[in-house]
């Protein structure tokens, strides 16, 4: 009997498309968010392009959704060398974490040369715009934390996750076809929104800490002879928990997150907002006499209203 080989199993093209979208999304989230210590020219997409004609066709289609005609000819689907673009963004992603101060306008060191790349300076595709904004804000956030370790005077929270960048990210994400946008960039978007949420919280907390610090400093300089003017709305100690829940619920709603998805405030964040300094100053003013105990408690309660229950237990007790 002659052996007749069975025909090779062929996956439906729709299934290949979905599998590739998921795999490419995992790859993008790793290199954009986690910055793994691998060579900048390593590219998982190259594997997808060389599996079969069906895989190559689907991969090119997905790349076009992300990069537009950056390196894909719309009419012929011809693919040019995209590795330099990936390498540029990957190196910037790493530098935004390891040398964030080099991105600053007044940086003492030369700015990364990759910032002059056309895809970074004038991003025209959805992924280029999202990646450029993510790099910029990651560098700004890490620069704030690095700067806080040296001199808090130079800390500027307003440069981190600004509304304009978040709008660009949201609009660029919406440009990717609805059927694959969550598979390709869902994790990146979720991480971006969670970081935007915690830094928005830190901005508000920093402004409050600054106001309290300024008032207490003036009070000490005046030897306690300072007319009290309420710069902050009064929050009783009993109301702190509810006010905190309301603030975090509102913050989560702004960024379309669950409250539990908002990252916790870490020790480096507390240093950056000056929390330890203002708490020390509150204790110092309270030690001046009973006349200021109630005032200091009110200020401490207002600061506490920006913190979750676990954060209050960690930083205020």
Mapping DSSP onto H, E and C, the string for 259-290 reads: HHHCCCCCHHHHHHHCHHHHHHHHHHHHCCCH
- Residues paired with 79 in a beta bridge: 72
Q: Phi and psi of 155, rounded to 5°? A: -70, 130
Q: What is the CA radius of gyration of the chain?
A: 25
Calculate the CA 249 to chain-centre distance. 19
Helix residue ranges, H only, the chain: 13-29, 45-49, 53-67, 83-98, 118-121, 126-150, 163-175, 178-221, 240-254, 267-273, 275-286, 293-304, 309-315
Tokens representing residue 153 in the block: 């005077």
Contacts with 100 (C-beta within 8 Å, 6 or more apart), sequence order: 138, 139, 140, 141, 142, 143, 146
Q: Tell me how far apart the alpha carbons of residues 251 and 165 are, in angstroms, rounded to a whole number.
A: 18
* CB count in 10 Å sphere of residue 231: 12
User: What's the DSSP call for residue 10?
Assistant: -
Q: Tell me how far apart the alpha carbons of residues 125 and 36 are, in angstroms, rounded to a whole number.
A: 24
**What are the C-alpha distances in Å from 223 to residues 218, 219, 220?**
9, 6, 5
Encode the chain (317 residues) as per-residue pLDDT tens digits.
566 555 555 777 888 889 999 999 999 999 999 776 665 567 888 888 888 888 888 899 999 999 988 887 767 777 888 888 898 999 999 999 988 888 876 655 678 888 888 888 899 999 999 999 999 999 999 988 887 666 544 547 888 999 999 999 999 999 999 999 999 999 999 999 999 999 999 999 999 998 888 888 877 776 655 555 555 566 777 789 999 999 999 999 999 999 999 999 999 999 999 999 899 888 888 887 777 788 888 888 889 999 999 999 999 87
Identify the burial level of 108 via C-beta atoms within 10 angstroms of its C-beta, where 0-12 means exposed, 13-18 middle and 19 or more buried. exposed
């Amino acid at each position: 009997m002659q052996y007749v080989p069975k025909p090779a199993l062929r996956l439906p093209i729709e299934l290949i498309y979905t599998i590739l979208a998921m795999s490419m999304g995992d790859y993008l989230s790793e290199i954009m968010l986690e910055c793994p210590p691998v060579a900048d020219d390593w590219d998982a997409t190259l594997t997808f392009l060389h599996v079969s004609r069906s895989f190559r066709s689907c991969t090119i289609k997905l790349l076009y959704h992300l990069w537009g005609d950056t390196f894909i000819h719309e009419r012929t689907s011809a693919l040019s060398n995209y590795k330099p673009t990936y390498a540029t963004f990957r190196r910037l992603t790493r530098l935004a974490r390891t040398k964030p101060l080099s991105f600053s306008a007044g940086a003492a060191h030369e700015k990364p040369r990759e910032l002059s790349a056309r895809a970074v300076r004038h991003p025209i595709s959805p992924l280029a715009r999202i990646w450029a904004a993510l790099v910029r804000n990651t560098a700004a956030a890490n620069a704030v934390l690095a700067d806080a370790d040296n001199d808090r005077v130079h800390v500027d929270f307003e440069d981190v996750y600004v509304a304009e960048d978040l709008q660009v990210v949201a609009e660029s994400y919406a440009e990717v076809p609805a059927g694959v946008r969550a598979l390709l960039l869902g994790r990146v978007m979720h991480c971006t929104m969670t970081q935007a949420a915690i830094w928005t919280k830190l901005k508000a907390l920093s402004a409050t800490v600054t106001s309290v610090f300024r008032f207490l400093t003036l009070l000490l300089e005046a030897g306690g002879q300072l007319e009290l003017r309420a710069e902050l709305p009064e929050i009783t100690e009993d109301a702190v928990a509810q006010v905190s829940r309301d603030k975090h619920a509102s913050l989560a709603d702004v960024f379309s997150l669950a409250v539990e998805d908002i990252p916790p405030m870490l020790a480096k964040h507390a240093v950056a907002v000056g929390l330890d300094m203002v708490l020390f100053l509150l204790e110092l003013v309270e030690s001046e006499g009973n006349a200021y105990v109630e005032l200091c408690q009110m200020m401490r309660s207002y600061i506490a209203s920006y913190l979750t229950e676990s954060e209050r237990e960690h930083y205020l007790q």
